[in-house]
Amino acid sequence: MFNYKNLCDYEFEILCKNIMQKKLGVPLQIFARGRDGGIDITDDTVSKNVVIQVKHYINSKYSDLISSLKKEVSKVAELKPKKYYVCCALELTPANKTEIFNLFAKYMEGSSNILSLNDIDEYLQDPANMDIVRKHYKLWLESANILEEIDSRDIFIDCETLLYNIKEEQRESVETLSYRQCIDVLERNRLLMILGMPGIGKTMTTKMLALYYAALGYRIIYTTNGDLQSIKKALSVDKESKEIILLDDCLGQYYFRMKDTQENELMSLIKYVLMHKNKKLIMNSRVTIFQHAKESYIELNSFIDTEKVRLQYIDMDSMTIEDKGRIFKNHLYFRNIQSDYYAQILKNNNYRWIVNHRNYTPRIIEYVTRQNVSNKIAADEYCDFIRRCLDNPTEIWRDEFNNRLKAEDRIFLTSLFSLTDIGVEDKVLRRVFNARISKRADIDTTRNVWEAVLKRMEGTFVKIIENKGVRQIGVINPSVNDFLKNYLDENEPEVEEIGRNATEYIQIVRGFGPDMADIVRSGDACKYNFASDVEKQIVILSNICELGICMEQYRDIVRTFVEFLPYAFYNTASTFTVVPSLLSEPLVSYYDTRNNLLTEEVEDLLDSMDFDDFCVFEENLKNNGLELCELVDSDVVLEKLDKAVRDYIDGYDRSESYTNQDTYELFKENTIYNGVYHEVDVDKVVNILADCVRDDIYDDVTDKLAVFPRAITDDIDLSRYDIWADTGEIESYVCDVLADPGDIDYSDIYDGDSSYSGHLDGMDELDFIFAE
């Protein structure tokens, strides 16, 4: 049986309308409850030949249902419909149905006019009625068992943050116009950028799209930290595998600094998706950050605006009043807001000005409907409280932070912000927190302050996620980070205090404390905690090498690095900068690195390098007055370099070459007349693009080899004609470009029917949504 508890009252009524409309074969209309006079659904507002009464009562008893139906008898007698039906969300016994039938026997053909929850479910389980289930996406997700399989690693990859509270969130979510537009764009173009102001629902929409596509058999790959390299590694090598990539806040929060490599990785990922029909990409970003990225990075701007890549985005600010009303109602309903509070929402139609307020956002609604927030306010003050939050949305957290939290609570939150925008391990935050409160005379550290604070903060300011057995702590939503950033921007003494007591390297990276170079110069670098020993070694060694620091405190770090070079540190790019510096003055004499570095270790290091690593390593050696052949026999260098070159050619992303060509110009230049009409000579275009691939790879490799001595490179046998180009894949690409996307009919994929529009026959839909 479907989980009908995921439908609130008005959603269940719409479901019943869809069912009865199909069963009876006549168009039906819904009335706003409270004005119906015994009618929820009817075929005609004048004749009222068919009248259907819907009773939700999902969490009630049969006695409540029959009591309510008895009150309907006189209303039905006045209407005198030819056919009267009752739909309810309760499981009824035969005796129950008989009792209900006896109430309305004059207007019913039999007990079949009474649809219990069992009857409704049996009807919807019939594959012939899947069209109705799909219109109610909560039921459809239930039918696909996705919510029961969200921990399956075959469906979701790296999605602990995405899945946090997902079962509760999907009940509160609404199939908005923007949501349907997102699906339409993804089905047509496979690329989607969701833009909007903070709190408008970008992440929630992204999550619901993830569930939608998981139900269609897609594997979900997700990130919030912008680690595009990990995303590409997580992609299946099977090109036929259906995968959808979600980049939440893809252009970064607060500390937006897009590196050249990151920018190129993003464009490379977009191109990869365009090349593979079974891949889709969803990105979301704040409007301001998106505009900043486009203005700051000309190549990214040009890439997004190019006609070859029709990157589309949805402006979430276009949310309809009806969608806002549904979001508000679902939060009130599923968060079990007490009846006296809900009565205040209904009083004088207060829901109208709430959903029409200029500052309305789903994030504010999420906040004001939390029970631990609303319970602090008297019922008759609830609407005034909502108005204050809407009038001054930035004050939501400020009032709570400044006036309701203890000093240790505030230290907890600013410590969290100093570490992450997303989530951090419990033990790391605890270490930072304890380091700060230990210096505070006004905090009683003889008690377990940490656990007391964590208990108060969970569910209000922070969420706790179990990630592979490790407890992680993060803010409950991004607006907390917004507030904390603004708070610290205005509070320099607090920032300085965090820096003085910083215990983690990541705090230094995020701008709390002195510059890392100054810390290394002072000899205090080893006092900080790093994410790993590798990070610690590389960060400190990079600064030692860049600044030429010779200090006793760092002898052990240098010695350990050199002795264990091939075993622990070869996979980090910084190694190829550090090693050459350690082998040159003044470091080579002070740390005696030349005598401690064995030839076998360098050879092992070379085995771990790819071709790009080789080039960087040789370039850095030359910059320090050395050459690789001075460290390792030249025959060994040639053997390992040659293998690296072959592997590089084999793994080269050939799609970059042919997708960057002006394909349409090639079509014009290679159009032939076949005796009937003009057509593109596909074989010739494919051969031209294949030559482009070979040329690009050959030129790329020979340019990079120039850093090595001719004595080495002259012995590497490289010919552009021996380079492989996948003509089958190129031909598939050419045919895809030739195809006219405007001819594709997507109606079978997604019909765009929201199930809501046009069903109230002029009645205000907000009244229908909020009526009791």
Q: What is the pLDDT of residues 590-607, one digit of tens each?
A: 999 888 777 888 888 888
pLDDT in tens, 613-635: 899 899 989 988 898 998 889 99
| Burial bucket for residue 572 (CB in 10 Å: 0-12, 13-18, 19+) | middle
One domain for residues 226 and 258? yes
Rg from Cα positions in the chain = 32
> What CA–CA distances, in Å, run from 385 to 129, 309, 330, 382, 625?
44, 47, 19, 5, 70
Residue 121 has pLDDT above 70, yes or no: yes
Instruction: Examine the fold and report which residue of 291, 318, 345 is the final residue of a domain before the chain moves on.
Output: 318
Find the helix or strand (DSSP H, E) in which 115 lies: strand 114-115
Give the residue, 271 or 450, on which the prediction is more confident.
450
Distance separating alpha carbons of residues 737 and 79, to the nearest angstrom: 61
Q: Which two tokens stand for residue 660?
A: 């960057």
Q: Which of 79, 84, 17 lies closest to 50 in space, CA to CA?
A: 84
Here the tokens at position 586 are: 């003044």
73 pLDDT higher than 70: yes
Q: Residue 138 falls within a domain, yes or no? A: no
Q: What is the identity of the amino acid at 740?
A: D
| pLDDT beyond 50 at 522 | yes
* Interval 500-528 mean pLDDT: 95
Least confident of 265-274, 396-405, 603-612, 738-747: 738-747
pLDDT at 531 over 80: yes
Same domain for 118 and 15: yes
Residue 348 placed within a domain: yes
Closest CA to 366 of 478, 255, 231, 465: 478
pLDDT above 60 for 194: yes
pLDDT one-digit tens code per residue, 747-772: 333 344 444 444 444 346 888 888 76
**DSSP assignment letter at 458:** B
Q: Among 318, 341, 356, identify where a domain stops.
A: 318
Listed residue (321, 175, 171) closest to 767, CA to CA: 321
> Which pLDDT value is given to residue 697?
95
**Does one domain contain both 290 and 378?**
no
pLDDT value of position 197? 78
CATH number of the domain enclosing 177 = 3.40.50.300
Residue keyed to tokens 């996705």: 146
Does residue 754 belong to any structural domain of this protein? no
Judge whether residue 570 has pLDDT over 90. no
| Residue 303: inside a domain | yes
CA angle 350, 329, 759 (to 5 degrees): 95
Q: How far is CA 106 from CA 83, 100, 173, in A?
A: 9, 12, 41
> What is the mean pLDDT of the segment spanning 51-79?
92
Task: Inform me whether the pLDDT recorded for 741 exceeds 60.
Answer: no
- Asked if pLDDT for residue 187 goes beyond 70, the answer is yes
pLDDT band at 448; cut points 50, 70, 90: very high
- Averaged pLDDT for residues 46-71: 91
Determine the average pLDDT of the residues in 429-455: 94
Same domain, 302 and 418: no
Q: What is the mean pLDDT of residues 407-431?
A: 95
- Count CB neighbours of 176 within 10 A: 24
Question: How many percent of the chain have pLDDT more than 70?
Answer: 89
How confident is the model at residue 108, as a pLDDT? 96
Same domain, yes or no: 295 and 157: yes
Q: Give the residue from 466, 492, 509 where a domain finishes.
A: 509
pLDDT in tens, 544-560: 999 999 999 999 999 88
The answer to the question of residue 572 being in a domain is yes
Average pLDDT (106-110) is 95
DSSP string, 528-594: SB-SSHHHHHHHHHHHHHHHT---GGGHHHHHHHHHTIIIIITTSTTHHHHHHHHTSTTHHHHHTHH
Question: What is the CATH classification number for the domain harbouring 426?
Answer: 1.10.10.10
- pLDDT tops 90 at residue 124: yes
Q: Are residues 306 and 333 in the same domain?
A: no
344 and 288 co-located in one domain: no
Q: What percentage of the chain's residues is helix, strand, coil (to nearest 5)?
A: 60, 10, 30
For residue 113, what is the domain's CATH number?
3.40.50
Q: What per-residue confidence (pLDDT) applies to 551?
A: 96
Between the alpha carbon of residue 767 and those of residues 33, 379, 632, 771, the distances in Å are 7, 21, 81, 6
pLDDT at 746: 33
173-177, 293-297, 567-571, range with the lowest pLDDT = 567-571
Indicate the helix (H) or strand (E) that contains 267. helix 260-275
| Residue 243 contacts residue 232 (beta carbons within 8 Å) | no
Provide the pLDDT confidence category of residue 484 given band limits of 50, 70 and 90.
very high
Same domain (yes/no): 699, 568:
no
In terms of domains, do 437 and 484 share one?
yes
Q: Are residues 260 and 282 in the same domain?
A: yes
Whether residues 304 and 428 fall in one domain: no
Domain that holds residue 439: 401-509
pLDDT at position 47, please?
83
Q: Over the chain, what is the mean pLDDT? A: 85
Lowest mean pLDDT among 250-259, 339-348, 393-402, 708-717: 250-259
CB 601 within 8 A of CB 575: no
Q: Which residues contact 228 (CB under 8 A, 6 or more apart)?
A: 247, 262, 265, 266, 269
pLDDT of residue 274: 82
Over residues 85-114, the mean pLDDT reads 95
How many domains does one find in the chain?
A: 6
Q: Is residue 79 part of a domain?
A: yes
Q: Is residue 745 part of a domain?
A: no
At 113, the amino acid letter reads N
Q: For the segment 152-164, what is each residue's pLDDT rounded down to a tens digit?
A: 656 777 677 777 7
Q: Is the model more confident about 199 or about 589?
A: 589
Q: Is the pLDDT of residue 86 over 70?
A: yes
Q: Is the pLDDT of residue 49 over 70?
A: yes
For residue 233, pLDDT over 90 is answered with no
Gap between the terminal Cα atoms of the chain: 27
Residue 744 pLDDT > 50: no
Q: What percentage of the chain has pLDDT greater than the value 90?
A: 47
The model's pTM: 0.72
For residues 643-663, average pLDDT = 88
User: Do 550 and 619 sit in the same domain of this protein?
Assistant: yes
Domain membership of residue 488 (yes or no) is yes
Of the listed ranges 107-116, 213-222, 651-660, the least confidently predicted one is 651-660
Higher pLDDT, 298 or 650: 650
